Amino acid sequence: MNKFHTSKDRTRVGCYYFPNYHVDPRNEKVHGPGWTEWQLVKLAMPRFPDHQQPKVPLWGHEDEADPSVMERKIGAAADHGIDHFIFDWYHYEDGPYLERCLEQGFLKAANVDRIEFGLMWANHDWINIHPMSRSFGKELLYPGQVSPRMFRTITDLIIDRYFSHPSYLLVEGCPYFSVYDLAKFIAIHGSVDATRKAIDGFRERVRAAGFPDLHFNAVAWGQPVLPGELVIKNLPELIAALGFDSVTSYVWIHHVALNKSPFTPFDEVLAKYLQTWNRMEEEYDIPYFPNITMGWDNSPRTLQSDVWEPLPESTFSNCIGGNTPEAFRRALEIYRDRLSCRPGPNFMSINAWNEWTEGSYIEPDTKNGMGYLEAIAKVFGSVASPVRRALAIS
């Protein structure tokens, strides 16, 4: 039995992890030998007054596919109250993408037993926004939609390779698996009914592998972030028809527009998101797991020689300002207090551990040090503390 489990009397804190900071053959084919997204981080420049770029990682521009590098990440996360990473996980019709971080780094880390991990299938189209220019089109590199046969291959791989791992994230004994783009997901089988049959088949194979069931999670959003994303109308009805077990959010700006240039205040975005949270709990008959977003500034993904200006359906967007570690801590306290009044199991996600080119990361940098991690520890305590350890292994 997995030594980790959900406890009904406390919130489990997770972080989304974006694995594009290691060398991948697909990236090398497009961007050249040795390329990682650190390249965009290093080249970022201030684009307007009071714009703090480039962001400089305190630990350097590390290779996340190195187990020793991942050991430090795992240790820092567990020491500061983070229970699990949810990896953005990519698999297209022609095979996996960005998998070496998880396969070579995380799963081979000596302390992998200190933290759980789950998967969010990032099944969106992969658009070449590394960087995006004002002038050239949205080049599609890898379509998010796969064939029904590949869906079966992907889900079999997940069951065999990941669900069986002793550190895999379980919700009341059921392996957690999340899907990012529901429009692309339904397009695999062509209809809601056919998609529901495929999900039911996935569940049967999970049960055959020895689990009570699958905990199937849907990522909900009301406005697009990446080029080509489609907003689904009547989303609660669709999620109910497909039989999902819970719903969550990936990032605040999927729900809240950044309508002040160049910075929309962090506290203002928080207040509007809390209204979204209220609405989500009213609209869905399944649990809603809220998200807290550390910040937003995706200007490193734009061509630095272009004039910066917010543009619709583009990586040129406004930013979140005032997102200090202190403001982040106050927001965490609101989440803790709201979730403590709600029956469990309760989860919340943080965006993100390492979205450096989106300005949403809690890894330490040279400006704030360990400030964001320390904020989490102050509010939720260390995973390694006696109380949390007892909850984790009881």
The per-residue DSSP string of 153-210 comes to: HHHHHHIIIIITSTTB-EETTEEEEEES-HHHHHHHHSSHHHHHHHHHHHHHHHHHTT
Q: What is the pLDDT of residue 120?
A: 98
Kindly state the average pLDDT of the residues 153-169.
Answer: 97
Which of 215, 283, 217 minimizes the C-alpha distance to 255?
Answer: 283
Determine what percent of the chain is predicted with pLDDT higher than 70: 92
Q: What is the pLDDT of residue 23?
A: 98
What does R_g of the chain's alpha carbons equal in angstroms? Answer: 20
Chain CA centroid to CA 193, Å: 28
* Total-model pTM: 0.93
Task: Give the relative orientation of helices 182-189 and 148-158 as an angle to the nearest 10 degrees.
Answer: 120
Secondary structure percentages of the chain, helix, strand, coil, to 5: 35, 20, 45
The domain locations on the chain are 11-393
Banded model confidence at residue 11, pLDDT cuts 50, 70, 90 = very high
Q: What is the pLDDT of residue 343?
A: 85
Kindly state the average pLDDT of the residues 20-41.
Answer: 98
Q: What is the pLDDT of residue 4?
A: 39
Report the 10 Å Cβ neighbour count for 171: 23
Angstrom CA distances, 228 to 24, 224, 271, 296, 383, stand at 24, 8, 28, 20, 39
The answer to whether the CB of 2 falls within 8 A of the CB of 170 is: yes
Cα–Cα distance between 215 and 217 in angstroms, integer? 6
Assigned fold of 11-393 = TIM Barrel (3.20.20)
Q: What is the pLDDT of residue 138?
A: 76
pLDDT at 323 over 80: yes
- SS3 state of residue 88: strand
pLDDT at 383 over 70: no
The answer to whether the CB of 224 falls within 8 A of the CB of 280 is: no
Which of 373, 359, 353, 370 minimizes the C-alpha distance to 70?
Answer: 353
Cα–Cα distance between 211 and 5 in angstroms, integer? 13
Banded model confidence at residue 98, pLDDT cuts 50, 70, 90 = very high
Cα–Cα distance between 24 and 319 in angstroms, integer? 29
Q: What is the pLDDT of residue 314?
A: 79
Q: What is the pLDDT of residue 18?
A: 98
pLDDT in tens, 338-364: 999 988 889 999 999 999 999 999 999
Cα–Cα distance between 220 and 239 in angstroms, integer? 9
pLDDT at 238 over 80: yes
Cα–Cα distance between 246 and 289 in angstroms, integer? 7
Kindly state the average pLDDT of the residues 127-144.
Answer: 87
**What is the DSSP secondary-structure string of 1-38?**
--S----TTSEEEEEEE---SS--HHHHHHH-TT--TH
Q: What is the pLDDT of residue 118?
A: 98
Q: Which residues of 75-92 are buried (b: 16+ CB within 10 A; e: fewer)?
A: bbbbbbbbbbbbbbbbbb
The answer to whether the CB of 329 falls within 8 A of the CB of 380 is: no
Kindly state the average pLDDT of the residues 204-208.
Answer: 98
Structure tokens at 144: 């998010």
Structure tokens at 354: 């390492």
Choice among 34-43, 95-104, 133-142 with the minimum mean pLDDT:
133-142
Kindly state the average pLDDT of the residues 227-241.
Answer: 80
**What is the DSSP secondary-structure string of 305-373?**
TSPP---TTSS---EEE---HHHHHHHHHHHHHHHHTS-S-EEEEEE-SEEGGGTEE-S-BTTTBTHHH
- SS3 state of residue 243: coil
Structure tokens at 260: 């002040």
Kindly state the average pLDDT of the residues 168-175.
Answer: 97
Choice among 9-13, 144-148, 222-226, 338-342 with the minimum mean pLDDT:
222-226
Residue 35, Cβ density class (10 Å: 0-12 exposed, 13-18 middle, ≥19 buried): middle
Q: What is the pLDDT of residue 2?
A: 40
- SS3 state of residue 127: strand
pLDDT in tens, 361-377: 999 999 999 999 999 99
pLDDT in tens, 256-293: 999 999 999 999 999 999 999 999 999 999 999 999 99
Q: What is the pLDDT of residue 390?
A: 37
Identity of the residue numbered 110: A
Q: What is the pLDDT of residue 54?
A: 98
